[in-house]
Each structure stands twice: as structure tokens, then as C-alpha cells.
Structure 1
């Protein structure tokens, strides 16, 4: 017979409560005789509000032993505690700032000159009892089965990144932490500091005292107490005492530790040393030891500048990722060598081989995976559209500052929050599938069949025992971290930000042997890079001050789906992703098999090479025509309008774009012009359908294009008619922007001899690449050409030249660039920057 508590909880449609019932109520002791404390309901605070339940313990949670309040505080005692914490925070902050101003050079020099062991001793003296290992919250969770022992590690749960290993292994982290806190105000870190103990707060690992008042966490009254009100609490300008007190406590502990650290370093220091060198270093920015690149800045947020919500910066990130996704989809449609490389890499994986055996069309799983490139571009296009809209509202709000503009802005940011969480949920679901196919993990899984002869996949057991996540954390931490990324936070109240796992993987790869690094192949890194990029936007939204509540999906569709430009996102993102299997008779898999087996010609470019290249391009076109037909069928079944379907289908028209056809014509002319015999030259004129946005009704081969003579031959320099066609072709926002500009030389760029050779190799029309090109060489050449470089998450590296940016992916595990990828990167630089081999010339020796 279920208890009254179970009946009460199960009668409410609430995922969080259901999770608690299943996970805790049936396994832990209930204390009906204890006193329970209601959140300030007399002012409107309730147990069903997602914002309020993050600040106070709901009544149903207090009936679980680990969630019971330790005691109730009188208002006067709460005021005294908050005042003490706040005074300590600001006094220590002022002290640290004064010491950095007078002794910044000494602090930096003394710390950087110490070895690892000396750093460990100093840190322990500054903070006796500091937890030793990295990833403290994970170790504590796995080391203790129940909650009472965990409460002895209160400081560690409040500041989980503050451990001896984490601060000492990389000498720049401690200095970065010192600068990050000294150069900002405590209120700038409120949302981040609150997030650090989300998991401990949810699990009951922190003892809590109840008081109905709220801690003011924004403005001149920071740290003072006030009566709860809905607007302030939901904006997190004030935070309920149980969580607000923990934020003040965490900040007070951190600032006290930093003050003790400074005192330890300056012990015996006579006279001021100034801070000129310190200021120079912090202006440039601290770099990790060994030049380690990170998935995203948010995976090291504690050691960087205070987090903030900057929609224009986020829009730039999203647009750069969108351009990368569109380029990948473009190359898959137009570059047979690139497409064959991607297909070949997929076919090497055991998962797709086994899946193919279960299908009437053995190549269909591979074809479906190739179609994911369309989904990736679509998702980044959604995010770019919505961020552009938020930027426009932000600009309007800054100009007018009226109530209506503010309401529209908050609604748009809340809808964006919902959109990003929706996309991350889809990425997580996708990772749950592809993790089985990752080369470094596929041996961990057992592939079999159930009683219905259906394929099954399950994790192997370690030494014949029932394997848990604890075992994998110790035995295979890389698999553990990737496995944790595939957990869906929506169905779990336990909350460790995904940035933690990206940082965990960073640390593993930085110190791993080559064999271990190779377990995450290029495809895995690229996929995780996309997840990290999306998660960084979600984190930035969660740090927004004042906090903006997420809008439920129905409200987002109703309010955002009708506005101009909104249809591309809010009428589509909530519908079933079009990734179902192929129907009988529709065989993109067979077309893909034919194309892949035909291959791409090598050797000297002559008439014979052209004939083989024509056939390969024709077969690639046949495959994408079949894929377009399949996608259109799925979109029709999903209930989308014709306008929405056209928006989705535009991304699959790259193979028919005028610029691509014109490039093929020029390539053919250049090859035939170099031959003595020019009798059989063909001109690629543009057929009528190329100037429209509709796909042809039937497959169009290169032979069809060669025989379509609606226009005369085009010579170099005679491109006005082609440019006019570009403006009429709608094939995606990123590509539309590109085609609206004249694709021409970007001026002359002077580079050194080595860079010139690399660019000549990259833009060469030859099928072969001369020599081996390493990633560091490409980065050096791009910097020499005037680009700035920064990590964009995982393998994604952004190169910015003027106002234009492009993302290139760092090869992994070997730092050598595949010749096909090098050529593909050259094609992308041509599309995005307007570069080709003729743009570059050698710089005179002696010139910088």
C-alpha cells in the first residue's frame, strides 16, 4: 500500500517530483513528526514555481531526510550572518586590490618561479584542509553512499573548483583566479557562484537553515536582507535565504582564501614593487601551461572574466558555427573527394556495418548519418536567427528603455533559452546513438539481438560484475565523461553543468598518451565541439542579469512563431526531426554506394580525368537528389507549410548553385586550355532551373549541364550576369550573404615564403598535395596573412580576418591535415574570404 506522500506526489504531473518519488521516497526514511517550513507563500512564493524551488525547499522535498532544514533562523540572526559575510567579502576584496596595485609584480614573479611542490605547500598553508583532487564533487559523490558524511566537505561543495591539484598543476590558474575576482564585483559572480553548488543543493549534501527573507544580490544593497517579492525573486535580484546565504558564504570563503594566498606570497617582502608587469600580463590574458586549447571559455569560467550575457558576441559565435555547418553541407554536395572521405570514415565504424546488415538497404544508415549535416546547419540557422532578433530588441531597448520594449526583450531571451535547451536535448539524444560508433568506445559495447531478432547495444560488464558509473570513472574516465554528456538534464534534478565535463575531457586529453587521445576521432571532436558551442550560449543566457525565466514551448511558438523571420525557427524546431529511415523504393543508400565505389580520379588532369570527374559528380548529384526527395517527403508528412519546406530545402541546392557551375566551367576550360588538343571542349551554361530556388524534378547530371546552351560561354572577368543570378537564389542565410557580394580577389596579401607555398598548395588545382602539411603550419600561415586566432570550442578554431570569420577544425589525433581536407579548407576560404592563389605574394625579406 503506497503512503499518503506517494499518492500525493504521483497525483501531480511534475517530472521533478516523480523523480524524487522513484529515487528517494521508496528508499529513505520519512519523518512525519518533524516540523516543515513553508517558503514565504503569504507573499506569493509557491512550491510549483521552478524559480522558487531553486531558492527554497518545497514541502514535498522536506519529507525526505536529506532535504530537511537543520533549523530555523530568527530574522535578527540572519541579518547578522549576512552582514558578517558581506563585510568580509568587501574588506578582503579591497585588501587584495591594494596589494595587487602595490605588489603585483612580486606576486606574479614569486608564484611563477615556484615548482609544483612548492606551490602545493603554499596553497595548503593558505587554506588548510583544502580538498586534494580535481573534480571534487564527483569524488565526493562516489566516495560516500549516503548524504551525512558528505556534509563534512561543505567548503568543497560550495567551491568545487578550489582544490590543490586544480590550482597547482597549472600555475596560471591561481593568478587568473586572483585577477578575475579582483577586477570585478561580487554581484557579477552571483549566478556563477550559485551554479557551482546546484548538484549539492539538489542532493542534500549541504545543510541548510531556514528563514523566509531574501538576500539582495544586485545593486548598492548587495548582501542585505529584504522581504520576498515575485519580480525580484524571479529576476534573481534577490535570492531566498537558503540559497542566498550559501552564495554569500561561498564568496566570503573564496575572498578569505585569496587574501591568505596573497599574504603567503608577500611574506618578507620589503617595499613596493609596482604592478607594471602584472598589468601587462592581465591585459594580454593568462594562457594555460603548455598552450592547451579548451573546448570553450565557459569550461574554465572560474578562471576567466566574470560571465555576462552579450547577445552580439553570441551572435558572432552562432554565425561562425552556421557558416562552418553550411560549408560542410556545401562540400558534401559539391566536392566528391570530400564526400568520399567522409563516407569512407563512417563505413570503417563497426556500428554502421552492423546496422547495415539489419537493413534491406545496407548503406541506408550511412546515408542517414550524412543527412545529419543538414540538421546541424538547420539548428545553427535557428539559433542565429533568434540571436539576431534578440540583438535588434536589445538595441531598441537601449535606445528607448520603455516597458513594452523590455517585455518583448525578456520574452525573446526566454524563448531563446527554451530553444537552446531543446536543441541540446536533441544533441544529447543524438550522442546517445553515435557514442556506440565512436572508434575509441565501440569495443566497450556488445552488439547483439533480442528475442525479436532486433539489434541491441549494451555496455560490457567489467570482470563479470554489474558495472556502474563509479567503476567506469575509475577504469575509463574518458568514456565516463562522454557518457555523462549524453545524460538528459531535463529528467534529472541533479545538475552538474556540462561545461564541467568538457573541462574534464580537456584535462584528460592534455596529459594523455597518443593512443588515448586517438580514441576520440575527428568526427567525435567535431560533434562535441558543436555541443560545447551550444552549451556556452546556454550558460551565457543563464548568467543574464537580471535573470530571465525560460518560456514554455507552447508560449514560445505562439508568441514568436508569427513574427517576421520567426517561422524558420518556432514553426519547425518543435516538430519531429526528419531523420527517419528510407521507405521501400526510395534508395539514397544505393545511390551513395554507387557513388562511393566509383571514387574520385587521381593523376594528371586531362580529358580522361575530366570524364571520370564528370561521372563522380553526376553520381554525387544523383545521391543528393534522392536525399532531397526523401527529406521533402518527411517534411510534407510533418505538417509544415510549403514556405517552411522551401526554407528547409534551400540548403540542399548547393550542387545547382550558379557559382558552383561557373567554377566547374572555368576548371574545365583551364584543363582543356593546357592540352594541345582542344577539339572537344564543353561549356557549362546555366540551365533555367539554376536561377530559381526550386530543385529540379529529376536528377540533373553534368552531361545535362554540358548540353544546356541557354547562355554563351563565360570568360574570366565576364561575371556580371552570373552575379545577378546570385541575388535571386535563396539557399540559406549564410550562403545568401556570401552570394550577395561579388566573389573576387580580396586584394594582395603579403606573406612569408613558407606561408606562400602552403597557400599555393591549398588553392592548387592539382589533385595531389605536395608534401605534408601540419596544423601548426596552417595556423602560422593564417596569422602571417593577418588573421587573429582563438579557440571556439573543442576542435573548432576561429580565424578572423577583418570583419569576416571562419571556423577550421584542428585535426585529431594526428596534427597532420588530410590533403582532401586541405583542399576543402581552401574552397571554404574562397567562399568566405574571397581568397585564391592569386591573392598572395611573397613578402620581401626583412619586412615584418
Structure 2
């Protein structure tokens, strides 16, 4: 499968087969047939592109140049959520470890910015709560507000996925170091260096486990979002206090595909990533993209901001796992139980600690409800405005302080090391950071200066209107990230 002997019949060798340096004849025949089909298609495409060109023109340059200048690319709106979605318009698969590290870091930054804003921007937190409250009506349950569970539960999930991405980034950086160390020894036809082989295998196992968890999260989230509520029936088990969600009908796959293609696609994205019967992820994401770009606005709106962000994480995991599995020579098949014994990086240390139950997120209901009941500052920037400004940030800090304390208690109970506890607590400590307090103080100082300047002008007989804002100013000026 490589070099000058590509396509030649060779003797069977188990190790070479596991590295994909050689493959069995049945698979080789399918590959050759697929390549022949692809080449015929590409030739027809070029012939159609160059149709009606004058034979006197050298190399069919005129029409070809005009097509290239016009852009041989996808038409319509493109949302940059993952390059994995737009494979036909992207570069061929290539194991570029530096680019993969950059992809992982981009998700760390994106998820980190999100939880930073949740902890420091009252307007952002308020807006996110309103998005999360677009779920089944809480008044359907006497004494059981579904929002009490879902709202803080989603923030806990957002914090956890940020911690997961930080672990993924460390794994990729570890692999990157080994790749550059052994790069002269990595080429087809020879075994991978043992350390590098172990790193790739551990990375694959980790990404597969994350995909399992993301699949479960997507499954739960679909039942909560307004675009798919019409498909579910709510139930409430008074004995356990749990809300149950069940499909209203026993839909067959063909009915869902024809009547609910968006839901069908999101349903197919779930499940075990290594199930041999599943559709390829690339095909499903392409189907999803085509469906959204060709659908009316109400249909596209069903995939709201909350779902879209989860799918961005999901698609990036697909992309990274696909790149790792396309590495040639292939790595060995790894097992989580082995890596738990041999590896000591962040992700594996987290998996070794004592497993605790999920956070009882209903205990945080009073905190976020009190925050929502605290009006944001509005109107003239006077002393009353400053009082409201302080009150809304105090309510925000009170909620996150309680969540921080709960995380710290659970981290210690799980048996984590002091270093890991300190590192992971940073993700729930932005509300108590020096940068945040400096921004608050800068804002208060600026407003106090405006008030003093206005008062001085009035004392001198000059009346200047104080600036006012119709919304929480923390979303626009000093506290903007």
C-alpha cells in the first residue's frame, strides 16, 4: 500500500497488515475499484468544465482560469464550525500533528471563553439562562421545576467539557513532542517507535471514550430543545422525582428520514462510534449541512445555539479521531485498562480517581433564580445605577461561589492530587480572579468619575446629561472579553 511496490502481491505478514503497510486481497480489490470509479468521475468533471473551449487556446487556459477565479467552492452560507463538515472543499486527509494541536487548542479557548463569560458577564449569563429555559414548560409539574435541574446542569456540562478538552490538548501535545522527536523514524514499511505508538493508541482510546460521552449528552439535549419538543412526551415519576422523555410514536427509520430528516440525522450521530452498522460520520455531517442550507428558516432555527455548540464539539472530536486513525503506519490497538496502568497524564489521572455521582444540580436553583431576580443596572449612570451594578455582580458571584465550593469538595473526595485540584478549579474560579475584580473596579471608577463630573458641571450652572445604557453595561465596555 505504499512506495514503488504499491499494488503488488506480497507475502502475508501480520505486523505489516496491522500497520496497513499491506492489506488482504478482498479489501485491495475494493480500493482499486473505488479509485477507478473516482478517476472516471474526475475525468468527466474536467471534460464538462472544459466543454466549448476553443482548441486554439493553449491548455484550455481561458475557461479554466475563469472558473478558478470564480471559486470552485461550495455555494451558499458556510458556518465555520468544523472543517470536517466540508470535506469535499477541504484539503485531503493528512496527519499534521501541529494542525491537530491547533484544532484542540481552539476548542479549549472557545469553551474557556464561554465559561469565562458565564462567570463574569451578567448579561451573557442572563442571555444563556433564557436560552436554556426554552424547554418544556416547568409549570406542567407541581413542585418540580424542570428548569431547576436543566439550567445549572448545562453549565456543569459546559465546565466538564472544557476540562475534557484541556485533557485532550495535553494528549495531543504529548504526541506532538514524540512525533518531532521520532519524525525521522516514522515512515511506511517500518514499525512505529514504541513510545510514539503508545501515544497514538492512547489518544485514539481517549477520543473514542469522549465520543461515547458526547453521544449521550446529545441524546439528552435533543429532548430539551424547543425544535424537537413536539416529538416527545413528558412524564414525571413522583417516587424518584425524575422527568422522563419518550417519543410520542414508534417511528420507523424510513418515516423519520422522510418526515423528520433533521431529527433522523441527529439520531444517527448518536451511538457507539465503532459500530460497524452505522453511517459514516462524514456522510451524516454532509447530509446535515446540505439539509440546513436547503431548508427554510424555521427548519434551520430548530438547530439552535445550544445544540449547534454541542455539535461543534462533536464534529471536532470526529475530525481528530479520523485524523488519528488515518495515520500511516497505523498504531497498535489500545485498551483503556492498560493505559490506566501505564499513563500518568491529566486525562488518565482523572479516570483513575474515585468515581462520584453526578452533581445534585437542583441545589443551585436558588442561586441562579436570585441572580435572575436581581435587575441589571439601567437608566442614568448615577448612584442608583452603581448600586444596581454592584448588586447584580454580587448575585452572580454568590452563585458561582457555591458551585466552586461544591466542585472543590468533590475533587477532594475523589482522591485527586493537590496539583490537579488546583489546576481544574481554575475553570470555576474566573468569578474570583484578579482580572475580573480589576475590570469591576475600573468600571466603577469610570462611572463615579462621570457622576462627579456631572455634579461639578451642575454646581457651575452647566447641565450635562449623564450617559445611560438600556442594557447591562458589562456586556459592552470594561467587562467585555
State TM-score, norm by structure 2. 0.87
Is contact 2:135–2:224 with CA below 8 Å preserved after alignment? yes
Give the whole-Å Cα distance in 1 for the aligned partners of 2:474 and 2:29: 53
The answer for the alignment partner of 2:245 in structure 1 is: 457
Is contact 1:299–1:502 with CA below 8 Å preserved after alignment? yes
- Give matches, 1:200-211, under 5 Å: none
The answer for the alignment partner of 1:250 in structure 2 is: 34
The answer for the alignment partner of 1:670 in structure 2 is: 446
Give the whole-Å Cα distance in 1 for the aligned partners of 2:142 and 2:323: 41
The answer for the alignment partner of 2:84 in structure 1 is: 298
The answer for the alignment partner of 1:349 in structure 2 is: 135
Match of 1:438 among 225, 242, 254: 225
Shift of 1:256: 2.5
Give the whole-Å Cα distance in 2 for the aligned partners of 1:363 and 1:650: 25
By relative contact order (CA 8 Å, sep 6+), the higher-ranking structure is 2
Shift of 1:820: 8.6
Give the whole-Å Cα distance in 1 for the aligned partners of 2:2 and 2:271: 33
Give the whole-Å Cα distance in 2 for the aligned partners of 1:531 and 1:825: 33
Gaps of 5+ in 1: 1-216, 680-764, 770-818, 829-848
The answer for the alignment partner of 2:175 in structure 1 is: 390
The answer for the alignment partner of 1:377 in structure 2 is: 162
The answer for the alignment partner of 1:227 in structure 2 is: 11
Give the whole-Å Cα distance in 1 for the aligned partners of 2:332 and 2:142: 45
The answer for the alignment partner of 1:582 in structure 2 is: 360
- Give matches, 1:150-229, under 5 Å: 217-229=1-13
The answer for the alignment partner of 1:627 in structure 2 is: 403
Give the whole-Å Cα distance in 2 for the aligned partners of 1:665 and 1:653: 18
Gaps of 5+ in 2: 456-466
* SS of corresponding position for 2:72: coil
Give the whole-Å Cα distance in 2 for the aligned partners of 1:310 and 1:280: 32
The answer for the alignment partner of 2:372 in structure 1 is: 596
* SS of corresponding position for 1:220: helix
Give the whole-Å Cα distance in 2 for the aligned partners of 1:615 and 1:579: 34
- Give matches, 1:495-510, under 5 Å: 495-510=278-293
Give the whole-Å Cα distance in 2 for the aligned partners of 1:289 and 1:552: 43
1:355 and 1:344, CA in 2 relative to 1: closer, same or farther beyond 3 A? farther
The answer for the alignment partner of 2:235 in structure 1 is: 448
The answer for the alignment partner of 1:535 in structure 2 is: 318
Is contact 2:74–2:89 with CA below 8 Å preserved after alignment? no
Match of 2:257 among 470, 473, 480: 473
Give the whole-Å Cα distance in 2 for the aligned partners of 1:401 and 1:251: 26
Give the whole-Å Cα distance in 2 for the aligned partners of 1:432 and 1:407: 38
1:384 and 1:354, CA in 2 relative to 1: closer, same or farther beyond 3 A? farther
1:418 and 1:352, CA in 2 relative to 1: closer, same or farther beyond 3 A? farther
Shift of 1:236: 0.9
* SS of corresponding position for 2:23: strand
1:322 and 1:222, CA in 2 relative to 1: closer, same or farther beyond 3 A? same
Match of 1:314 among 71, 96, 100: 100
* SS of corresponding position for 2:108: helix
Larger radius of gyration: 1
Match of 1:549 among 311, 325, 332: 332
Is contact 1:672–1:678 with CA below 8 Å preserved after alignment? no
State TM-score, norm by structure 1. 0.51
1:267 and 1:651, CA in 2 relative to 1: closer, same or farther beyond 3 A? closer
The answer for the alignment partner of 2:347 in structure 1 is: 569
1:355 and 1:341, CA in 2 relative to 1: closer, same or farther beyond 3 A? farther
Is contact 2:101–2:172 with CA below 8 Å preserved after alignment? yes
When the two chains are superposed, the root-mean-square deviation of aligned CA atoms in Å is: 3.2
The answer for the alignment partner of 1:201 in structure 2 is: none
Does 1:827 pair with 2:465? no
Shift of 1:356: 9.3
Give the whole-Å Cα distance in 2 for the aligned partners of 1:600 and 1:579: 35
1:387 and 1:350, CA in 2 relative to 1: closer, same or farther beyond 3 A? same
1:266 and 1:417, CA in 2 relative to 1: closer, same or farther beyond 3 A? same
Is contact 1:363–1:592 with CA below 8 Å preserved after alignment? no
* SS of corresponding position for 1:422: helix
Shift of 1:447: 0.6
* SS of corresponding position for 2:244: strand
- Give matches, 1:260-271, under 5 Å: 260-263=44-47, 270-271=55-56
